[in-house]
Amino acid sequence: MKLRRRKYIEKQAKQHTLQESNVPSDNKSLSDQLTDNKEELKKLYANCSDVVFRSFFLNGKEDALLVYIDGLTQVEEIDDNVLAPLMKKTYAEQGSVRELLKKKVAVASVTEVETYTNCVSEISVGNPVVILEGSSTGFSLGLAKPETRAISEPSSESVVRGPREGFVESLHVNRALLRRKIRSPQLKMETIEIGTYTKTTVIISYVSGLADETLIKEVRNRVARVEIDGVLDSGVLEEFIEDYPYSPFPQVLTTERPDVAAGSLLEGRVVILVDGTPFVMIAPVSLYSFLQASEDYYMRFIMSTLIRWLRYAFLVISLLLPSFYVAVITFHQEMVPTALLISMAASREQLPFPALIEALIMEVTFEALREAGIRLPKQIGAAVSIVGALVIGESAVTAGIVSAPMVIVVALTGIASFTIPRYSQAIALRMLRFPMIILAGTLGILGIMLGIIAIVIHLSTLRSFGVPYLSPMAPMKSGEMKDTLARAPWWKLNARPHFTGAYNEHRQSASQKPNPGKGEE
């Protein structure tokens, strides 16, 4: 079996290598013969009806070729600012062709390209390329068509108080949104291209002097070593760069909000932007990063602290309430007050299933309704999920399939899971809820304790780019506890989080507590 599997893997590797060899990515230099360049580019773009090859006379005497993709390029700008001035004979005596292109073409960006690979890269992003007779250098014109949706508030991270803008699918817009937040030249953005076919642009962003150089190097190495056919979303790249791919807990924070990304950059973290998706990735992170919302830092610190405590309480409820109910009903009835126990026993008298099966049925049904509400059109999705839950719950109780207390427990659990700000963390807790229910139904409270111990041990072993997942509580860093379980006032948050290696500790001046009664001397 091992020999057969090895042969199969070698065969698949050969097929993948053959596919890569057929990819039109010739790295040869351009020829000084326009005819050869045109034939080579047409060979690369064979059967591509949207690629336009426009031949014209430059200065009325020299041949030139313009290549662009219809739909990705501003055709009107080509007509007005490229073809019109270049084809006029009045420029014939005003210098060389190279000077003419750089001085007379009304385009902000003119870049020289010397290989077919560079030509294909520029044409693929929407920039037209001009190739001249007798020159082995082409010119890429920055006339890509910026098709993107309008900037709007992210639907998955809405706030009562805070900025209303969110990232979009255009990398240029997302990059500009970050620049608007952090206007210092210390904000660095390194570009890496990933994907054999998609040629997706990925930007690694950090603030020089705040982010540790070891962390930046690690992020750069992990992203650069990814070899794949294409990256269509940041979620694809996330699976290649995380520390523990088999863990249910996310080790990279994703957000659609520029203020969240900018705040993370100012804390010394690294932000990864992927072209074609509004979700950017932030690393390193801890468990507590997923329980903090951007609005926590815009409200008064007292209210933010109370809301955080509420989130932590509902996190425990979301994970343990169904399993605790199953354990009590099955093994530990003495923990329930007598009056309540009699009421619960009466509601379960005619049920055909034990509490374990009952809980699993209700949880699976609730998850199915939640998934259906997400996948259905927005106009009917919410109505179907809410009405479906009410109708199915009432019908199941009337038919004697489940008890009314179980419906209440599952409903409270669902509401509790909605209080977790990050969807990826909420999914992890929803998945862990099922093994916890099974442990409670087989071992009772002991099973719940064993499950909690296993989860805590697993969380203690996790790392996010080398940073402990339970930091700053394990290992304990008392100086960083001001922004973990509680949110201290801004005038007390003087130090940045400490991740790895050397870091810039001070984020603001000390002793800035408001003191209106103290006048200037």
pLDDT digits 0-9 by tens, 147-188: 778 888 888 888 888 899 999 999 989 999 999 999 999 999
Check if the beta carbon of residue 198 is closer than 8 Å to that of residue 232.
yes
Where is mean pLDDT largest: 323-337, 362-376, 389-403?
A: 323-337
Check if the beta carbon of residue 270 is closer than 8 Å to that of residue 204.
yes
pLDDT tier for residue 285 given thresholds of 50, 70 and 90: very high
Where is mean pLDDT largest: 202-206, 346-350, 355-359, 373-377?
A: 202-206
Q: Which residues contact 503 (CB under 8 A, 6 or more apart)?
A: 210, 212, 268, 496
Residue 430 vs residue 7, higher pLDDT: 430
Task: Please determine, for residue 515, whether its predicted confidence score (pLDDT) is greater than 90.
Answer: no
Pairing of strands 187-194, 138-141: unpaired
Three-state helix/strand/coil letters over 173-199? HHHHHHHHHCCCCCEEEEEEEECCCCC
CB atoms within 10 A of CB 130: 26
Quote the mean pLDDT of the chain.
Answer: 85
User: What is the reported pTM?
Assistant: 0.85
- In this prediction, residue 160 carries a pLDDT of 86
Structure tokens at 155: 């639907």
- In this prediction, residue 381 carries a pLDDT of 65
Sign of CA dihedral 173, 292, 497, 457: negative
Name which of 78-87, 189-198, 417-426 the model is least confident about. Answer: 78-87
Residue 42 Ramachandran class (φ > 0 left, ψ -120 to 50 alpha, else beta): alpha
The DSSP secondary structure of 53-110, one letter per residue, reads: EEEEEETTTEEEEEEEETTTB-HHHHIIIIIHHHT-GGGTTSS-HHHHHHHHS--S-E
Average pLDDT over residues 325-353: 86
Task: Please determine, for residue 308, whether its predicted confidence score (pLDDT) is greater than 80.
Answer: yes
Q: Which residues contact 264 (CB under 8 A, 6 or more apart)?
A: 253, 271, 282
Residue 284 phi/psi, 5-degree rounding, is -80, 165
- Which residue's entry shows tokens 């993948």? 16
Q: Which helix (H) or strand (E) holds 464?
A: strand 463-464
| Residue 452 three-state SS | helix
Q: Which of 214, 211, 216, 213 is nearest to 268 (CA)?
A: 211
Q: Which of 511, 236, 270, 294 is nearest to 421 (CA)?
A: 294
Residue 230 CA to residue 197 CA, distance in Å, equals 6
Three-state helix/strand/coil letters over 242-307? CCCCCCCCCCCEEECCHHHHHHHHHCCCEEEEECCCCCEEEECCCHHHHHCCHHHHCCCHHHHHHH
Task: Please determine, for residue 89, whether its predicted confidence score (pLDDT) is greater than 60.
Answer: no
Q: Which of 399, 409, 366, 361 is nearest to 385 (CA)?
A: 366
| Residue 311 three-state SS | helix
Structure tokens at 301: 């610190």
pLDDT tier for residue 60 given thresholds of 50, 70 and 90: low
To 10 degrees, what angle do helices 404-418 and 355-375 make? 40
Task: Please determine, for residue 102, whether its predicted confidence score (pLDDT) is greater than 80.
Answer: no
Task: Please determine, for residue 321, whether its predicted confidence score (pLDDT) is greater than 90.
Answer: yes
- In this prediction, residue 20 carries a pLDDT of 46
Residue 7 vs residue 114, higher pLDDT: 114
Predicted confidence (pLDDT) per residue in 27-47, tens digit: 788 888 888 999 999 999 999
Where is mean pLDDT largest: 74-83, 452-461, 476-485?
A: 452-461
Average pLDDT over residues 209-219: 91
CB atoms within 10 A of CB 167: 24
Residue 142 CA to residue 105 CA, distance in Å, equals 11
Task: Please determine, for residue 201, whether its predicted confidence score (pLDDT) is greater than 80.
Answer: yes
- Residue 126's alpha-carbon distances to 101, 123, 137, 144, in angstroms, are 19, 5, 19, 4
Check if the beta carbon of residue 140 is closer than 8 Å to that of residue 122.
yes
Task: Please determine, for residue 489, whether its predicted confidence score (pLDDT) is greater than 50.
Answer: yes
- In this prediction, residue 21 carries a pLDDT of 45
Predicted confidence (pLDDT) per residue in 5-27, tens digit: 555 455 555 555 444 444 444 57
Check if the beta carbon of residue 453 is closer than 8 Å to that of residue 436.
no
Residue 394 CA to residue 165 CA, distance in Å, equals 41
Name which of 258-267, 315-324, 414-423 the model is least confident about. Answer: 414-423
Residue 457 vs residue 91, higher pLDDT: 457
Residue 53 CA to residue 384 CA, distance in Å, equals 52
- In this prediction, residue 510 carries a pLDDT of 79
